[in-house]
Structure 1
């Protein structure tokens, strides 16, 4: 019998602290940095974002999102036999112990299920989904928890208005399970390290301290140009792999980074904008958390129904990009 992988539960979490563009502009003005709600919205479509409280970690947000996904899937933590967590902001310097292992412990998993982090920046959730899909279809695992969790506010330079206004914190999760019905119809991943310098945190750890910059740095124009190009290409690759056309797609959920990129991608795919799920206006760019956050919101508000076909896309530093087509 053919084994498929299917999303059976979604969940998300946003920190309580919500910061509007005006509030952020007022904070920056105290440092002599000028920006405005109009300036931010016109360039990104972002109106607000959420910031984690002091002491709130990626693992904490990942656990909160995971609990909601488990509840939706009607599973207990010990029903999970693999945890994959995508993050660029792990709980610990050096990335170990992995944030996935921390999440495993905080969820109370005692079944010895493997847990691992995936680092593909804003494409991390797409990478995690693709790994989970392969693991399930191979028969190695039955119920996989895939999480994207980020606290980007801690790597933002609030003296740089071109980057600090764009990002926020949050987490999203899905439970993917073995099924005799089609769920994940296609996944496609890519990377090109030749573009590593256009979006990075270039600092390194030396003698227990950060050498160089520990802040996010981005060439906005280069990222925009590359993102628009690769998102269209990888979407068409995933459609071809699934044997579908763009008009077969019910919803497009791209990485929530910039509304102009999202609109451009939809138009290139000849998809009407009313099929585009948008959360970037309220959440900002939450990196690996953005796609599962948007997916969960559209599931819970009733837009996404059983049987709908969803095109998910991510693009991020590395440079990495990927897409998945899933039938709910």
Structure 2
């Protein structure tokens, strides 16, 4: 039994926020330098009454326009922006899409490593004969967690949703996957308040960090320097392990697609790994860092120019701290 990605679709919210828009809010910040270094020119944020679930539904409906929903026998939904603490958002999505009631459905809470984790889960379900057509969904709305005065995070993060159809194939298109976890760094990227340990605090005090960034414990906090150091310490070595695991040399991979965190970080790792720029895809300009959605968006965009089989190394890393990756082969547009 083999596994292949048949199709990917993605959606952004309608509300596009450019660097010029942010420059009006943060006039003392040099967004021209930000564009040059980080590579983000715009991002999209949901409206007040719009959720990750709304985006997920749109992405799935877009994909299912060309694929029979009655053949979907499993739904895997990756989000850190659930509709409710319970029930499982995947169950709601199954109903909204009209998928068969015989289909399995579950959520999992992962961030930037979420898509590669999902592909590995799909591979396991298909290779073990438990499913044949899996709808793998990622959806994230970090904009709802960001403090209005947090210029750094507002410049980096955008909202999006993706839907991938991962299916049984007579030929195997998936290689081996590897994983990593360092929970000691759980507080490097965190929304502290609002769940079981610390309830939402309407009187939470404002905290200043970095260069005049403001947040409260009700909001998203990212320790940028520590996340950068983690990434550049762990991910290049991890990528080399992936190459060894899959018995392939660096130069035999046609494209490396990493989580699209920021261009400076990505190029730092690319140089460390001695990968040529043309074999290392960067796709940040339009939508920014969309967390678990960045890899499927980049993979979809890259595939539009494919007309022959290519080996693609996918690597996700971030909140948790968590990382994962694997080798896949694609032969045409997704």
**Which TM-score applies when normalising by structure 1?**
0.91
Which one of 285, 292, 296 corresponds to residue 288 of structure 1?
292
2:81 aligned to which of 82, 86, 89: 89
Instruction: Tell me if 1:264 matches 2:268.
Output: yes
1:226 paired residue number: 230
Corresponding residue for 2:254? 250
Paired residue for 2:278?
274
Return closer, same or farther for 1:231/1:174 CA change in 2, 3 Å cut-off: same
Q: Tell me which residue corresponds to 1:9.
A: 7
Following TM superposition, by how much is the alpha carbon of 1:206 offset from its aligned partner in structure 2, in angstroms?
6.2
Q: CA deviation at 1:67?
A: 2.9
Is the CA contact (8 Å cut-off) linking 1:120 and 1:316 kept in structure 2?
no
SS at match of 2:48: coil
Tell me the residue number matched to 1:308.
Answer: 310
Aligned residues of 2:113 and 2:322 also touching (Cα < 8 A): yes
Which of 237, 243, 250 is matched with 2:241 structurally? 237
Matched ranges for 1:59-98 at <5 A: 59-71=53-65, 74-92=66-84, 94=85, 96-98=86-88
CA distance in 2, matches of 1:183, 1:68: 24
Cα distance in 1 for residues equivalent to 2:268 and 2:180: 20
Q: Which residue of 2 aligns with 1:110?
A: 100
Distance, in Å, in 2 between the alignment partners of 1:289 and 1:103 is 17
Q: Is the alpha carbon distance of 1:226 and 1:111 closer, same or farther for their aligned partners in structure 2, counting shifts above 3 Å?
A: same
* Cα distance in structure 2, aligned partners of 1:99 and 1:251: 33
Structure 1 residue 218: Cα displacement: 1.0
CA shift, 1:263, in A, is: 1.1
Question: For each residue in 1:35-68, what CA deviation from the matched residue of structure 2 results, as whole angstroms up to 9, or x when unmatched?
Answer: 2322432442211101112322111211222233
Q: Give structure 2 stretches of 5+ with no counterpart.
A: 205-216
Distance of aligned partners of 1:67 and 1:245 in 2 relative to their CA distance in 1, 3 Å threshold: farther
Partner of 2:132: 142
- 1:93-136 Cα deviation digits (max 9, x unpaired): x2x22222222122111333111111121111111111111111
- Write 1 or 2 for the structure with the bigger share of helix: 1
SS at structure 2 position matched to 1:205: coil
Deviation at 1:209, TM superposition (A): 5.3
Kindly tell me the number of residue pairs found equivalent between the two proteins: 316
Q: 2:220 aligns with which of 216, 237, 241?
A: 216
Q: 8 Å contact 1:151–1:169 — kept in the other structure?
A: yes
1:220-242, CA deviations, whole angstroms, 9 ceiling, x for partnerless residues? 01101111222212222222222
Instruction: Say what the alpha-carbon RMSD is for the aligned residues.
Output: 1.9
- Secondary structure class of the residue paired with 2:172: coil
- Preserved CA contact (<8 Å) 1:148 1:173: yes
Partner of 1:23: 21
Give me the whole-angstrom Cα distance separating, in 2, the residues matched to 1:223 and 1:274.
26
Q: Distance in 2 between matches of 1:236 and 1:305?
A: 27
- Using the alignment, how far apart are the partners of 1:119 and 1:207 within structure 2? 17
Structure 1 unaligned blocks of 5 or more: none
- SS of the residue corresponding to residue 214 of structure 1 reads coil
Instruction: Provide, for residues 140-171 of structure 1, a one-character-per-residue CA deviation record: whole Å limited to 9, x for no partner.
Output: 11111111111111011121222221100001
Q: Compared with structure 1, are the counterparts of its residues 305 and 85 closer, same or farther at alpha carbon in structure 2 (3 Å cutoff)? A: farther
Distance of aligned partners of 1:207 and 1:149 in 2 relative to their CA distance in 1, 3 Å threshold: closer
Task: State the Cα distance separating 1:325 from its structure 2 match.
Answer: 0.9
Which sits farther off after the overlay, 209-218 or 239-248?
209-218
Distance in 2 between the 1:81 and 1:250 partners? Answer: 32
Worse-superposed segment, 135-144 or 270-279: 270-279
Q: Specify the SS of the correspondent of 2:106.
A: strand
1:126 equivalent to 2:116? Answer: yes
| Cα contact 1:28–1:158 (8 A) shared by 2 | no
State whether residues 312 and 325 of structure 1, in contact with CA within 8 Å, keep that contact through their aligned partners in structure 2.
yes
Query: Once the 2 structures are TM-superposed, how far is the Cα of residue 303 of structure 1 from its aligned partner?
Result: 2.3
